[in-house]
A and B are shown apart, each in its own frame.
Chain A
């Protein structure tokens, strides 16, 4: 029986430690992992908890991330609670198996510490890996700080493992900016946390020999489409309600409130920034500053990135005059992902706002208060004119001549 860990009411944890503590408290049966910067400490801490007697489950060191996710698929199909962590190149190497996991409806939890994708090689944070996972059929939750990395990791088990859902869940946090920044975190006690996550209830476990089950069958044109459509339908119709239910239960337990789309000062906002990750908090700070300068600024951030909260985004942004979508990933030949999603969500709104796109922070490039201020000022001009006063897509914080398109 694993020992319980005494935790202080306030711990100073970085995002990695927050995630590893949540994994420990969830009493996972199998973690199969291949560490990679900046998520290495997630599994490093986890294995040290195990070595020190705080974990009963199995920890399997494998030879690659492809094998790590494959091990998770096997263990999850066998009927256990399963999780792992990765970043960047490791995430990319897992990509094939990510689709296997979601297609087999295996509720694996994956902590993704977001990092840029090579080349050029870069260990710092951006959202390239998060965006790479967006069509993989997983649920994607996004943490903006260490506390949220802890909270959302606990909640991920309860969301994904629910028998109405049975889908794998990624919990994202920003590489280094969140994963390596120590901040105040209020943890639950081991008992409270486990009580919240709940005991794992297997469904169609392969190790249940009294009820033989097949995973990973071949279907071809006769059934493939139906399977994919059912998975998509569940993502589109069942996940939002379940996420809300789990967020509500978590709020009741901790007082910490989460929403599918987070809104900051949006009640009377005329201009809004839409962003993900740690940038959300910096932007909130700036929104407050802009109010003092007479610009009615707000921030909207998808806590749930997949399934895409179309209705909630529409509702959050339908009253504003100008929106900036900030993408921390090179779109490589298109407008940014957030721009495309948000613009699509607003297309059928009456008096739809002016929507523009900013690419920023690639490979860990700092996103500063001044950057956010400038964006709000441009939004203010867009709102006053009622049409874009800038090119549609601009690069922020890039050295050299200004880069923009359309």
Chain B
């Protein structure tokens, strides 16, 4: 079972990102879950979203997990949210930031010695999509770090997930995925 936790602000697209990932993964015959903690979250409120992926039907509906990946799509949440909660020794962190990995770890000692990757999903989404919607670039970074799918396959699959959107938006998302894939460190 692969488990992923997203840290996001309501409105940044973590739920859409988690559902998009689930959609892509389901096409390979695997079983998926994508869910979130909502409460009465208002736009901008810190929130978490989750993915589970397995080869068997997923019966577990507890919200609790020890994540394999922690995806932080809002730079501020690395500072204010408990992003290391219930971590494992092998948990990998992919964090949106304009800082280098060393600068970030120095700023946030809780990440010291952890498997941390950085990518500037905010800047990438502003440059490509024109809005601060850092979810699809984060998926590009996740593909690179996890090796789950190669870039071409993932982009193709995401195109059909995004099929209801105008071509311009699909193209912008493809560019965002590619840039994040190539720039995550």
Bitwise, B25-68 to A at CB < 8 A (1) or not (0) is: 01100011111101110000000000000000011111110000
Please, how many angstroms separate the alpha-carbon atoms of A183 and B53 in the complex? 10
A182: contacting residue among B22, B59, B60, B64, CB under 8 A: B22
A111 to chain B, nearest CB (A): 19
Knowing A366-B62, A368-B62 are in contact, say whether A124-B39 is a contact too (CB < 8 A).
yes
B36: contacting residue among A180, A279, A285, A369, CB under 8 A: A180
Complex: chain A residue closest to B161, CB-CB: A12
Complex: chain B residue closest to A285, CB-CB: B59
Of the four ranges (under 10, 10 to 19, 20 to 34, 35 or more), the interface on chain B belongs to: 20 to 34
Whether the Cβ atoms of B59 and A183 lie closer than 8 Å is: no
Knowing A282-B61, A285-B60, A366-B63 are in contact, say whether A183-B32 is a contact too (CB < 8 A).
yes
Knowing A180-B35, A182-B35 are in contact, say whether A369-B19 is a contact too (CB < 8 A).
no
A172 to chain B, nearest CB (A): 15
Residues in B neighbouring A369, C-beta threshold 8 A: 60, 62, 64
Whether the Cβ atoms of B26 and A181 lie closer than 8 Å is: no
Residues in B neighbouring A123, C-beta threshold 8 A: 38-40
In the assembled complex, A10 has its CB within 8 A of some CB on chain B: yes
Please, how many angstroms separate the alpha-carbon atoms of A55 and B22 in the complex? 28
Knowing A180-B35, A182-B19, A182-B34 are in contact, say whether A12-B62 is a contact too (CB < 8 A).
no
Residues in B neighbouring A340, C-beta threshold 8 A: none
Please, how many angstroms separate the alpha-carbon atoms of A285 and B58 in the complex? 9
Residues in B neighbouring A194, C-beta threshold 8 A: none
Complex: chain B residue closest to A288, CB-CB: B59
Please, how many angstroms separate the alpha-carbon atoms of A366 and B61 in the complex? 9
In the assembled complex, B3 has its CB within 8 A of some CB on chain A: no
Whether the Cβ atoms of A176 and B58 lie closer than 8 Å is: no
Whether the Cβ atoms of A12 and B23 lie closer than 8 Å is: yes
Residues in A neighbouring B35, C-beta threshold 8 A: 14, 176-177, 180-182
In the assembled complex, A184 has its CB within 8 A of some CB on chain B: yes
Knowing A184-B26, A367-B62 are in contact, say whether A12-B19 is a contact too (CB < 8 A).
yes
Tally of contacts, chain A with chain B, CB under 8 A: 66
Please, how many angstroms separate the alpha-carbon atoms of A184 and B62 in the complex? 17
Question: Number of A residues whose C-beta is below 8 Å from B?
Answer: 24
Residues in B neighbouring A183, C-beta threshold 8 A: 22, 31-33, 58
Chain B CB within 10 Å — which of A12, A176, A279, A285 has the most? A12
Complex: chain B residue closest to A284, CB-CB: B59
Residues in A neighbouring B18, C-beta threshold 8 A: 182
Whether the Cβ atoms of B19 and A176 lie closer than 8 Å is: no
Whether the Cβ atoms of B63 and A184 lie closer than 8 Å is: no
Residues in B neighbouring A178, C-beta threshold 8 A: 61
Knowing A123-B38, A180-B35, A183-B32 are in contact, say whether A10-B62 is a contact too (CB < 8 A).
no
In the assembled complex, A162 has its CB within 8 A of some CB on chain B: no
In the assembled complex, A278 has its CB within 8 A of some CB on chain B: yes
B32: contacting residue among A184, A279, A366, CB under 8 A: A184
Whether the Cβ atoms of B19 and A368 lie closer than 8 Å is: no
In the assembled complex, A281 has its CB within 8 A of some CB on chain B: yes
A372 to chain B, nearest CB (A): 9
Whether the Cβ atoms of B38 and A366 lie closer than 8 Å is: no
Whether the Cβ atoms of B26 and A279 lie closer than 8 Å is: no
Please, how many angstroms separate the alpha-carbon atoms of A124 and B59 in the complex? 20
Please, how many angstroms separate the alpha-carbon atoms of A184 and B33 in the complex? 8
Bitwise, B1-24 to A at CB < 8 A (1) or not (0) is: 000000000000000001100110
Whether the Cβ atoms of B34 and A12 lie closer than 8 Å is: yes
B64: contacting residue among A174, A285, A368, CB under 8 A: A368
Please, how many angstroms separate the alpha-carbon atoms of A366 and B27 in the complex? 29
A290 to chain B, nearest CB (A): 14
Whether the Cβ atoms of A279 and B61 lie closer than 8 Å is: yes
B169 to chain A, nearest CB (A): 18
Please, how many angstroms separate the alpha-carbon atoms of A278 and B26 in the complex? 21
B31: contacting residue among A177, A180, A184, CB under 8 A: A184
Whether the Cβ atoms of A181 and B59 lie closer than 8 Å is: no
Residues in B neighbouring A368, C-beta threshold 8 A: 62, 64
Residues in B neighbouring A14, C-beta threshold 8 A: 35
Residues in B neighbouring A282, C-beta threshold 8 A: 59-62
Residues in A neighbouring B40, C-beta threshold 8 A: 123
Bitwise, A255-286 to B at CB < 8 A (1) or not (0) is: 00000000000000000000000110110110
Please, how many angstroms separate the alpha-carbon atoms of A183 and B60 in the complex? 12
Complex: chain A residue closest to B50, CB-CB: A181
Contacting B at CB under 8 A, from A174-199, are: 174, 176-178, 180-184
Residues in A neighbouring B31, C-beta threshold 8 A: 183-184
Q: Which are the 4 A-B pairs with shortest beta-carbon distances?
A: A181-B35, A281-B59, A278-B61, A182-B34
Residues of B at the A interface (CB closer than 8 Å) are 18-19, 22-23, 26-27, 31-36, 38-40, 58-64
Cβ contacts A to B, 17 pairs, < 8 Å: A123-B38, A124-B38, A174-B61, A176-B35, A176-B38, A177-B35, A181-B35, A182-B18, A182-B22, A182-B23, A182-B35, A183-B33, A278-B61, A281-B59, A367-B62, A369-B60, A369-B64
Known: A182-B33, A367-B61. 10 other contacts (CB 8 A): A12-B19, A182-B18, A184-B32, A278-B61, A281-B59, A282-B59, A366-B62, A369-B60, A369-B62, A369-B64
